[in-house]
Structure 1
Amino acid sequence: WWNQAFEAAGYIDAFQVKVLPDDAHHLDIRYNVINWVHRSTRGWSYGGSVVDPRTGEIIKGNVLLGSLRVRQDYMIASGLLAPFDEGYEQDPRMMEMALSRIRQLSAHEIGHTLGIYHNFASSVNNRASVMDYPHPKVDIINGQLSLENAYDEGIGEWDKRTILYGYQEFPEGIDESYELRKILENTATQGLLYISDNDARPAGGAHPYAHLWEYGDDPTSQLSHILEVRDIALRNFGEAVISMGTPMTYLEDVLVPIYLFHRYQLEATVKLIGGYQYSYNVRGDNQLSPSILDDDLQRKALKEMIKAVDPNVLALPESILDLIPPRPAGIPTSREQFRGNTGPSLDALSMAQTAADAAIGLLLHPQRANRLVEFNARENTLGLEEVIETLLGSTWEQSTKTGYQGVIAEVVNFVVVSHMIELHTSSQANPLTKAKVLAQLERLLDTLEERKDPMAKQASLMIDSYFENPSDFEIPSSLPAPPGSPIGSDLMMCGY
């Protein structure tokens, strides 16, 4: 793929990939090498380089591709498609999705060996870079899920511009600095964005278009779409997601990425709330200057985030709960499954709590809350009070539900209280933010004390205990979700 970028820069067949000669060693400095590593546990694929410290010249590129990624994508595809109707047949769509991803990943890691950083804003430009972390694009066609366009093929437009900037040679007498500046300005004129790790990874991030594991130019609309995909997959979820002869307990392994299918899009959408659009501009260039995100976009994002904690969304179909048995002897539990407090049975309430915790924790992140306070004062955009009032209006202030969805609603209510208290205690929250949260906690307490139901009394006790002795109050926490990124922890990156 990278040959497409080099040819666009005028270097014909300059970049080639061949099978390593039998008599060559993969550590030989003369060869740039892609290593295939088979593993059964999580680990990063990565692309690195051996660089001459005196000149910065890249002497050798070294890529490691882990096989686990193929199995992970294959499992996600089986959960989305439920392809094993007869029990044994192989659906080529699953393997094609997995192979499409590994092709994209190969190009991604090779990009690192060429000296290129991540670009986590490329999805806004129609998947313009292989240096993004792509989420599988799932289309809905006549009510059915399609993976035909799950991953893009070929190098992206931003990648071509990067190679042009980094590898273009200029004839003697040409002002190289001027020509390079023109490349950057033309790239900006084309609307190609570049935002990297430090701005895309943090949970409190503000850039509305810099995200990991998502796609599309409108995060809010994509969250709505992803929730619809998730709903279809959960309604279709059953024995057909595993092949005949597979222990039924493995259904939970497939369920995890499907139930949490929206987790990355939540992280993307929430950045519009208190959003701040900017570029890495320099004096005299034509890139965007920083600006507070349009108020309408923030409000649309808030509305969609609230939908993600609706009990109808969080309630796992009971047909699934009755389908998955506990782990038998010889098949141990691991971090890849949901944690629970119900012993051997699948804990539907803890699952709902974990999913709600992700959305509400992002919504009430202290850095986001601080921006909401400041931006509301500066430009009268969406403010923190309105965010909390909207959240309370969709949870505690709703009429009491009964049954399965009723207890899920109560679980969500307590997640809201916990995160409000956590925000009030946060060392990152500024005094204005704390004051506004305190006012909302007091308002909620007044409302709860007028009610007679046990859950309201329990929440009142919780808030009263916090007010009486905040320094010793232990904030209830939700059980942690299974690992998110399909290749490891959030503390690592795949390359640069």
Structure 2
Amino acid sequence: MRAAPAAAPLLLAALMMGAVPMAVAPAAAASAPAATTSNGPAARPIAEATRGLQAQPGFIDVWRDTDKGRVLLSVAALEQPFLLLSSLPYALGSNDVGLDRGQPGDMRMVHFEKHGARLFLVQENTGYIAASEDKDERAAVKESFASAVLWSGDIVASDNDRYLIDFSSFLLADRHGVGARLAAARQGAYAVDVARSAVLAADARAFPDNVELESLLTCAGPGQADYVRQVAADPASLSLRQRISMVRLPRLDASSGWQPRAYHPFSGGFDVNYFDFATPLASSIDVHWQVRHRLEKTDPAAAVSTVKKPIVFYVDRGAPEPVRSALIEGASWWASAFEKAGFKDAYRVELLPEGVDAMDIRYNIIHWVHRATRGWSYGSALTDPRTGQILRGAVTLGSQRVRQDILIAESLLAPYGKNAPADKQKLAEEMALARLRQLSAHEVGHALGFAHNFAASRMGNGSVMDYPHPILKLNDKGEVDLANAYGVGVGPWDDYIVKYIYGDFGGGAQEQAALARLRGDAHAAGMLYSSDQDDRLPGASHPDGLLWDFGPDTLKTWDQLGAVRQRALQTFSPDVLPDARQIGELEARLVPVYLLQRYQGEAVARLIGGGEFDYASAGDIKAGIASAGVKVTPAAVQRQALNKLTDTLRAEYLALPAKVLDVLTPPAAGYERGREYFATRMDSVFDAFSIAEAGAAQTAGFLLDAGRVNRLAWQHARDAQQPGVQEALSLLLAKTWRREPVPASVVGGEAVQLAADWVVVDGLLNLLDGAKLHPQAAAEVRASVRELVRWLNNNPGKGVIADSRRQAAEHMAAYLNDPRSVKLRSLPVVPPGAPI
């Protein structure tokens, strides 16, 4: 915990100052006499200005002017903060751009203030505060960091301290950042065309704690870029809907029954943070709170109790069966963890009732979202920036992922042959639905405040917060077995994080002691934790923090998947396709089979220059709960990993069987290759060079990563028993350029090997050219390249091998002599694998 525990009550009190909820103006106040403004004559009374309009009393009173397409608000309190959120009820449908149906924006804390005859909507700077009872100390920080005026408008009418404003111009502006997202995706400059946009006044709603306002926005732009052309009715005219939610701030007084919880790096959860300049001098000003929903027991003294208000997630009615049932079932898995944490009937998942607004911020929602291509799913926790309290969970599940899972299963099982057992087709669908249950639980976990744990796969079904690869094996008949591809239910890590983040431990020192015991028990049980910041880069070092791997032993799983891959390639045929599909789709189905070990290959690479470490506080280290420092992967394991990984650059691994090559057919008329296919430089026909290059690039990208090479250099410098840069590169070149002749039994073997060899050259030169190596590591790489040049010149070979060896030697020598004189090639593009 970084903030001093003793400061929490003071912080809570200080956060309440200036955070009084905006008052709800009673409807009767509309008849109050007109007020005289500071600028002169009396403004019209609100009753007169709103005569004939539809009233929506609530947190902020709303008037609908459907005839003129306006929304008017009456603001009853100034300088009092509330929360503002944008979202997209209707969206673009492009995974590449990322403007999805139901997508939430950032939560902002704002307030209205009056200057002259206008009201200003101001975003407060919540990143820097002074949690102090001293108003001057608070003011000093407020004055040091800029706020932002989001909007201003004329006061249309007023009654005493109530001000009526036409909020339409705010709603007609791009508050969600649609134009910025399109520009970032290189789709061109788009801006709202107000003449083709409208405030949807009839849809405006006001409730006691929130206001929901919506507009139709038409963004005009060039319409020339690929992503918008792929999805839009008219790519120069993108019409979407924008939702603006205005939300009352939660109470923070002692009677509210809820306290923020200090974040700990081993909690397994998310945090919100800000800099508090009022902390004691010995304490960090960087304050972090645990992100979590409010969950209060009806009987705090009971070990297990019902709750005052359960957490309920609602599934999108647009999800069809059997998807709908799978989503509900998977998301419901969390109920058992809450029960174990002492909360009875505290969490449930239901189908969204008919007619309920899925965008209303009062509802936690699981959206079933369609896009033109498969893409990622997301779970968002929308929080109070002061405390980390989750006000809404919003989940986005991409609908095409389940179809990719079916494709993978069919490609492995080949279930459409004349003699294929009938249950194979059903097994493919069952595997995809099993994955969907896990995905639903995973993304809801994010919306509950839980982070990824990519090390949980070391415990089998350790956590739904990991990225799972289907558990594949061969049965006794040597056939691919998918029967138990995915786990069922939450795992032990999930039980731990629910108890840690939501458990009721009484607060204060008692709570901190209980949380420390939980962390100690988790470590003692062998639970590992590694998350995004340490696991997504190609050169990441933690050998357990792996996306899409499985099993406790990386090298054993590598061999297991290798056997499955070999069997799947042997049986790959038109039988992987349903009869109605055009035969050109065989190429797309070959991709996940050929690259079946792509994620486990990354796991093997992690062992090279690898080192594991804990997320911990200094107190946990001193108490012996966790370990400090980095534990380097043993030398013998690193050398095994080097051997296995470099074997994937040999033609024996990269070449396709003849019977696979002989059935690959170009896409039919009306169809074309897309991103899910291997590239081709042979016009319409399948390119066997490109597939070998992509396979080699998959390995080279991991092995020839600057961070990994730098670690190899240091680990060897500190311990000469560890493999170093020279050893790793020597083995790499011995398996490629300097290898023995390829056996004649390998189809196109020498050509396939040369394709991989050239990828290695490109990888080495890009490694040198990337300016990320330490000078001494770069010197070792350069020496290996120079030695390879000498070897190629001394061993010219014959025929096409001689041609490549001569050109490669000239290419590398020219680069070593003058890097600027050589145009380097990027590594070949590998077709997308994730998300699965």
Structure 1 residue 151 displacement after superposition: 0.6
Q: Counterparts of 1:239 and 1:169 in 2: how far apart (Å)?
A: 57
Structure 2: which amino acid aligns with 1:391? L
- The one of 477, 486, 494 equivalent to 2:835 is 486
Partner of 2:87: none
| Structure 1 alignment gaps of length 5 or more | 488-496
Structure 2: which amino acid aligns with 1:225? Q
Q: Counterparts of 2:782 and 2:386 in 1: how far apart (Å)?
A: 56
Structure 1 residue 29 displacement after superposition: 2.8
Q: Counterparts of 1:173 and 1:406 in 2: how far apart (Å)?
A: 70
SS in 1 for 2:391: strand
- The one of 548, 551, 574 equivalent to 1:239 is 574
Structure 1 residue 87 displacement after superposition: 8.8
Partner of 2:475: 141
Q: Counterparts of 2:741 and 2:355 in 1: how far apart (Å)?
A: 73
Partner of 1:377: 717
Where does structure 1 differ by over 6 angstroms across 4 or more consecutive aligned residues?
A: none
Partner of 1:110: 444
Q: Counterparts of 1:482 and 1:87 in 2: how far apart (Å)?
A: 32
Aligned pair 1:358/2:698, yes or no?
yes
Structure 1 residue 361 displacement after superposition: 2.3
Partner of 1:412: 756
Structure 1: which amino acid aligns with 2:472? V
Q: What is the aligned-residue identity percentage? A: 39
Q: Counterparts of 1:284 and 1:240 in 2: how far apart (Å)?
A: 59
Structure 1 residue 334 displacement after superposition: 1.1
SS in 1 for 2:437: helix
Equivalent runs, 1:221-240 vs 2, <5 Å:
221-240=556-575
Aligned pair 1:388/2:729, yes or no?
yes
Q: Deviations over 1:25-77 (max 9, x none)?
A: 21223322212223441232111123223332112211122211110000000
Larger mean Cα displacement after TM superposition, 370-379 or 448-457: 448-457
Partner of 1:469: 818
Contact map agreement 1:340 1:479 (CA 8 A) in 2: no
Structure 2: which amino acid aligns with 1:379? D
Structure 1 residue 172 displacement after superposition: 6.7
Aligned pair 1:213/2:548, yes or no?
yes
Partner of 2:778: 434
SS in 2 for 1:18: strand
Structure 1 residue 174 displacement after superposition: 6.2
Q: Deviations over 1:341-387 (max 9, x none)?
A: 11111111111111111102211111100100000011221111100
Structure 1 residue 281 displacement after superposition: 2.1
Larger mean Cα displacement after TM superposition, 37-46 or 327-336: 37-46
Aligned pair 1:367/2:707, yes or no?
yes
- How many residues end up aligned between the 2 structures? 487
Structure 2: which amino acid aligns with 1:307? D
Structure showing the higher helix proportion among its residues: 1
More relative contact order in 1 or in 2 (CA 8 Å, sep 6+)? 1
Partner of 1:29: 361
Larger mean Cα displacement after TM superposition, 207-216 or 19-28: 19-28
Distance 1:360 1:55, change over 3 A: closer
Distance 1:173 1:294, change over 3 A: closer
- The one of 663, 666, 684 equivalent to 1:344 is 684
Q: Counterparts of 1:441 and 1:191 in 2: how far apart (Å)?
A: 43
Q: Counterparts of 1:288 and 1:298 in 2: how far apart (Å)?
A: 22
Partner of 1:53: 385
Aligned pair 1:168/2:503, yes or no?
yes
Q: Counterparts of 1:471 and 1:87 in 2: how far apart (Å)?
A: 60
Partner of 1:493: none
Q: Deviations over 1:11-31 (max 9, x none)?
A: 122111122222322122332
Q: Counterparts of 1:256 and 1:202 in 2: how far apart (Å)?
A: 22
Equivalent runs, 1:67-86 vs 2, <5 Å:
67-86=399-418
Contact map agreement 1:87 1:243 (CA 8 A) in 2: no
SS in 2 for 1:47: strand
Partner of 1:399: 740
Distance 1:4 1:467, change over 3 A: same
Partner of 1:203: 538
Structure 1 residue 173 displacement after superposition: 7.7
Q: Deviations over 1:196-254 (max 9, x none)?
A: 00111000100011111111112222222212111110100001100113211011111
Aligned pair 1:128/2:467, yes or no?
no
Q: Deviations over 1:141-188 (max 9, x none)?
A: 121111111110000100110000100112478611111111111111
Partner of 1:267: 602
Distance 1:172 1:38, change over 3 A: closer
Q: Counterparts of 1:72 and 1:214 in 2: how far apart (Å)?
A: 18
Contact map agreement 1:224 1:304 (CA 8 A) in 2: no
Q: Counterparts of 1:35 and 1:83 in 2: how far apart (Å)?
A: 32
- The one of 330, 336, 339 equivalent to 1:7 is 339
Contact map agreement 2:762 2:827 (CA 8 A) in 1: no
Q: Counterparts of 1:171 and 1:184 in 2: how far apart (Å)?
A: 17
Provide TM-score, normalisation by structure 1: 0.95
Cα RMSD, aligned residues only = 1.7
Higher gyration radius (CA):
2
Q: Counterparts of 2:796 and 2:737 in 1: how far apart (Å)?
A: 14
Q: Counterparts of 2:383 and 2:729 in 1: how far apart (Å)?
A: 51
| Structure 2 alignment gaps of length 5 or more | 1-332
SS in 2 for 1:434: helix
Provide TM-score, normalisation by structure 2: 0.57
Contact map agreement 1:208 1:272 (CA 8 A) in 2: yes
Equivalent runs, 1:306-321 vs 2, <5 Å:
306-321=646-661
